[in-house]
Structure 1
């Protein structure tokens, strides 16, 4: 039996396999609101054969968007825009639907990637950004405003309110974005956090705000639904956040019964020096899993079914999240199952799709026509 296609339970949610559609920013929302593109995109991903779909990074407040096109969940309008999309997925797919909540911090107010991705000055239609310290992401950029006590409370409340809205929408779980140089990661990393209060300095202090946010969200989401956290295991910069600190953070999350830690890396600074290759982030997930016992999700240049199978079979991670591979091949799960001799779920409209040699891909079904 394929390890990748074995079931996995997260509280009250049992996934039929270990494949996750990674949250992928689309950068086309209108004032934070989802629309027809998200219906098409997420609808396609929901039929991929994966066990879980994580909706793209969703900003908890307008100023927390990475770009003006980021998805949001901060008011009635953004909540209402997502409702028909989630309802459509529920009608046509059994996939577990979770949502990634995040705040861009000092990396907010940026152009979309296909327009360069750089900071948009306030004079050009951008907005004032906030961070743990008044340190810019990139030399020459305007510095963010350091969050004071009132600002920290505002952001905590924004995560709480978005979690309530996500719960009303009926998602199966939440992932907090604590990676890629965004706000929660900024608090963790000494590269971005040079505060001298209880939220800066020591590792314990730098972990304080992300853990507070986790505690607030975990208290809002019902106990039968899982809550995970995405982390960057290393900044890829000397003197920055690293695997040892990530393990310490994961231990604290595990004490709070976190349901998974999705392990990525980088994003805190353009000075990072990353060594990239197939599965290059898998060892980070394995190290965290072995040191803490927490469920881990591995990401990063995992593109082939056999590669993903080895990650799970060799206990390097419990789940495998696919991003670019899903965009290139929206039926990635189908094709992985065919290669590994497994089965996936699909709507009856698609039952005649597999070639003869994979006729049992969707199970022992009968599809006849007059």
Structure 2
């Protein structure tokens, strides 16, 4: 009856009754199944050289140990009369403890009295070498793990950035389409009323509502383009005041009006009930006061502008506004919230500027 017909459990039981050297010499490299069973056997049993002859020792170490060393958990060596100097021969062949990564038990039998100290010192040295190697392997593994985590984090960051860019591109395309659609509708409305005598209230109402909704959905740069379209179409003229203004209740925050109206503004439209935060009026010249009633002008910039006969009435807000270097003549600020407003350095005709506060105090 062939041994290959035996169950794995029975073969492992047989291996337990045989000397370790004989197990290797008889069964190792017969086939993959026996090799795997021998690995399993030595993961739970001691590999014992104590009964091996010198000839067996020299045969097993170079022939089999390179293939089973990673599976050994216990090793026994002996310096008895049958195997003299086995311990020293094992060490001199280069089989130090660091070459057995899973070794948990090491036994020395029949140590000669004059070799005890040498064996102990060698075992201590091998143990230190093995510990140092394990530490180096652990440190290397930690470095590799850290590099892998950093690589994964970088890949995730790039993926998130690409996703964000795709979203931004999509939003920009959407906003661009919104502006194009608005320009198309503006052309259609103009074509419908091209031969009418002036603009009807219905035309103004439809255009105003469409303009308001479009400004709300656009970014600052495209809002500026839309306002340029209105200026070119002469729809921001001063005759369209108050609720008839195209910018009534509109979102014009961040608009650089100094880029729309070059320096001198004689026909600036009324912009009432509007969001005008962060708007810029730098280096502009106002010779009259357009109506900004009930508009939010917080964080707007009037630096180096020239304001003449200009009234900021009590319905607006002017918090965190800059008037740095501005020329203010006959300008009034009447009971307006003006927290953290910057006026210096400024050039002012002080006899014409006044502040009216809620408590009735007046400064000229």
Q: Give the TM-score taking structure 1 as reference length.
A: 0.24
Highest RCO, 1 vs 2 (Cα 8 Å, sep ≥ 6): 1
Report the structure, 1 or 2, having the larger strand content. Answer: 1
Q: Give the TM-score taking structure 2 as reference length.
A: 0.24
Structure of larger gyration radius: 2
Report the structure, 1 or 2, having the larger helix content. Answer: 2
